[in-house]
């Protein structure tokens, strides 16, 4: 905050140079005048920040567009106009005669002027004065009304101006008896204003929480269906009976109580209503309190298989190496070719893989403990939304042997499996990645003909299955797959990709599974080479004593030099 009391120039000059034009109408407020006169920079800064925040909020309301008010809201706004007019003149009302004359001219103007022309800019002094007062009042409230609502409010404000003039005249005559019009106007609940409608509040809620675009759309649709079913426009009107009524409706629709009702609809409704209650925008009490959805005990509890079997995985991955049948675009063919392999070897989600870019495939960092740089896949927020934190995963030797790195080097576009030029509805590629995942899932079902498991998410379950069979520690598995750490301590520190590669190579190789279950394609697979002078074909003495590191030997990927800047260096 500049020390304005030492500024040789006037405060008006400072206002013209420093204050934005949209704030100049507010510079005569008492808060800003005090902040300019005070010699305490902390108080001055706090007062200015508070006033500017208030003005920014008001300006945002004005930019949001005109609103339409019903009769109740217009009368409540006229009551605020009435109270505001009395509050501005209560301490210094002036002479009673002037308020008597104001009430007389306002009543005459309201009676003589046709109501349909009252909102026009007439030349009569009372009407011009009233329009000016209404315009200032609405600007201070940060409200823009549509023409119909503005006309109706102007008529209500004219009547309120007459009553206010009479009351101020009584105060000027030293009559401080209770205001006879104190309970004349209704009080509009601020939780039911135009800016507190469901759609606007949900956007604020999603922005503040930071949900991904897919979760935002899904939850807004579910909460919107609930609000429409109950006939509610504002979250403040939601009652416990609405919740119970909607619950009975969902149960009667024979929806899954666990996956669809409890973890779907009510997860979205509960999170949104709790945010409204925390921000004093919801009902007086929590309508979901003591509401419980019991599981359907008549449903047979059959444990469904979640991951592919060895034979199914080998069949799908072997088919991905052959020409993809059907009329498909080049990007879809590449997606069916590589996405199942990447999901199978890294445990990544299909959307995370579908949105990969060429620059996301690179080399690991060199450290004193790990001087060798190995190929890695970086799942970052720059490529697209991530359900969990960003991570770096080593490229599996099976992918290296199949020529994945050569494919990445030969790619001309930025995206590997989608074409951003095909985006229509949204500028991002979230829709394209979702479409690519559906195409891969449809192709996988056509290969194995199984509808028991989820064709894309089954790879993620299978990766955990293979890691358990290989006795991989869950902490390393969670880092590779991007799951939330089990403990706070597990979230500390970083794991080098070379260390993760060691644990990935302990798991069963899908190339070996193809050789076993699809022997026809076995001779065409890349040969598995053994490192010279090593008893273990997969790992060379990773210990503290010999200080040796795991190196990708399959596919010819060897040590990368210091001057390497890309995969092909």
Task: Estimate to the nearest angstrom the gap between the alpha carbon of 216 and the chain centroid.
Answer: 6
Number of residues in the chain: 569
Helix (H, G, I), strand (E, B) or coil at 376: strand
pTM of the model: 0.60
Distance CA 84, CA 79 (A): 8
Structural contact between residues 558 and 550, judged by C-beta atoms closer than 8 angstroms: no
Contacts of 146 (CB under 8 A, 6+ apart): 66, 67, 68
Dihedrals phi, psi of 357, to nearest 5 degrees: -110, 170
Q: Locate tokens 């991530």: which residue?
A: 386
Of 438, 418, 446, give the one whose Cα is nearest residue 326: 446
Q: What is the pLDDT along the chain (569 residues), one digit of tens a residue?
A: 344 444 444 445 444 444 445 445 554 444 444 444 555 666 667 767 677 666 666 666 656 667 788 888 888 889 989 999 999 898 899 899 999 998 888 888 777 665 554 544 433 444 678 888 888 888 887 778 888 888 888 889 989 999 999 999 999 999 999 888 888 888 766 566 667 788 888 988 988 888 877 788 889 989 989 988 888 888 888 889 999 999 888 888 888 877 888 888 889 999 999 998 888 888 878 888 888 888 777 666 556 778 899 999 999 999 999 888 778 888 889 999 999 999 999 999 999 999 999 999 999 988 888 888 999 999 988 887 777 778 999 999 999 999 999 999 988 888 999 888 776 655 667 788 888 899 999 999 999 887 678 889 999 999 999 999 999 988 899 889 988 887 787 778 888 999 999 999 999 999 999 999 988 887 778 876 544 433 444 433 333 222 333 333 333 333 333 344 334 43
Q: What is the pLDDT of residue 63?
A: 60
Which tokens is 63 given? 């930019």
Distance CA 147, CA 128 (A): 17
Distance CA 475, CA 434 (A): 29
Contacts of 478 (CB under 8 A, 6+ apart): 484, 485, 486, 490
The packing angle between helices 310-321 and 430-448, to 10°, is: 110
Q: In what order do the strands lie in the sheet with 375-379?
A: 361-363, 375-379, 391-394
Q: What is the pLDDT of residue 127?
A: 66
Helix (H, G, I), strand (E, B) or coil at 557: coil
Q: What is the pLDDT of residue 483?
A: 85
Distance CA 310, CA 469 (A): 13
Per domain, the residue ranges of the chain are 4-63, 71-188, 194-278, 310-556
Which tokens is 294 given? 């019991």
* CATH fold of 310-556: hpI Integrase; Chain A (1.10.443)
Distance CA 167, CA 93 (A): 10
In three-state form (DSSP H/G/I as H, E/B as E, the rest C), the secondary structure along 242-288 is: HHHHHHHHHHHCCCCHHHHHHHHHHHHHHHHHHHHHHCCCCCCCCCC
Q: What is the pLDDT of residue 317?
A: 93
Distance CA 314, CA 337 (A): 14
Please report, for the chain, how many H helices and E strands are present, in that order. Answer: 21, 3
């Amino acid at each position: 905050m500049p020390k304005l009391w030492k500024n040789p120039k006037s405060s008006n000059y400072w206002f013209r140079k420093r204050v934005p034009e949209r704030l100049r109408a507010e510079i005569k407020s008492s808060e800003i005048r005090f902040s300019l006169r005070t010699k305490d920079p902390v108080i001055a800064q706090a007062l200015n920040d508070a006033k500017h925040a208030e003005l920014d909020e008001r300006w945002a309301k004005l930019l949001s567009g005109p609103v339409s008010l019903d009769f109740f809201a217009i009368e409540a706004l006229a009551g605020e106009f009435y109270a505001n007019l009395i509050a501005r003149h209560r301490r210094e009302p002036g002479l009673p005669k002037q308020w008597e004359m104001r009430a007389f001219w306002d009543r005459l103007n309201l009676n003589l002027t046709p109501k349909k022309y009252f909102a026009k800019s007439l030349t009569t002094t009372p009407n011009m004065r009233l329009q000016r007062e209404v315009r200032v009042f609405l600007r201070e409230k940060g409200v823009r009304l549509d023409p119909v609502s503005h006309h109706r409010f102007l008529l209500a404000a004219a009547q309120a101006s007459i009553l206010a003039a009479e009351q101020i005249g009584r105060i000027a005559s030293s009559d401080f008896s209770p205001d006879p019009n104190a309970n004349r106007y209704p009080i509009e609940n601020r939780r039911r204003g135009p800016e507190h409608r469901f759609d606007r509040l949900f956007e604020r809620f999603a922005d503040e929480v930071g949900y991904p675009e897919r979760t935002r759309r899904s939850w807004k649709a579910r909460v919107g269906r609930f609000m429409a079913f109950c006939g509610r426009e504002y979250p403040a009107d939601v009652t416990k009976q609405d919740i119970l009524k909607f619950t009975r409706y969902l149960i009667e629709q024979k929806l899954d109580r666990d996956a669809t009702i409890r973890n779907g609809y009510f997860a979205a409704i509960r999170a949104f209503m709790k945010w409204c209650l925390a921000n004093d925008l919801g009902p007086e009490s929590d309508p979901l309190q003591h509401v419980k959805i019991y599981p359907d005990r008549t449903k047979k509890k059959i444990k469904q298989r979640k991951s592919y079997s060895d034979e199914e995985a080998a069949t799908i991955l072997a088919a991905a190496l052959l020409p993809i049948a059907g009329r498909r675009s080049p990007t879809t063919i590449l997606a069916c070719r590589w996405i199942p392999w990447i999901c199978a070897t890294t445990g990544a989600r299909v959307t995370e893989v579908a949105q990969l870019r060429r620059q996301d495939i690179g080399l690991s960092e060199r450290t004193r403990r790990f001087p060798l740089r190995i190929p890695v896949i970086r799942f970052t927020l720059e490529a697209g939304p991530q359900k969990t934190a960003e991570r770096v995963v080593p490229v599996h030797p099976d992918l290296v042997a199949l020529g994945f790195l050569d494919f990445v080097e030969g790619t001309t576009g930025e995206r590997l499996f989608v074409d951003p030029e095909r985006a229509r509805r949204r500028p991002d590629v979230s829709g394209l990645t979702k479409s690519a995942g559906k195409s891969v899932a449809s192709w996988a079902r056509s290969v194995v003909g199984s509808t028991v498991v989820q064709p894309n998410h089954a790879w993620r379950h299978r990766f955990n299955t293979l890691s358990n069979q290989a006795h991989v520690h869950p902490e390393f598995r969670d880092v590779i797959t991007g799951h939330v750490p089990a403990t706070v301590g597990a979230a500390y520190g970083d794991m080098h990709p070379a260390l993760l590669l060691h644990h990935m190579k302990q798991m069963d190789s899908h190339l070996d599974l193809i050789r076993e279950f699809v022997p026809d394609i076995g001779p065409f697979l890349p040969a598995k080479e053994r490192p010279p002078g090593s008893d273990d074909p997969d790992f060379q003495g990773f210990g503290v004593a010999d200080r040796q590191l795991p190196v990708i030997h399959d596919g010819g990927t060897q040590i990368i030099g210091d001057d390497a800047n890309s995969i092909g260096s």
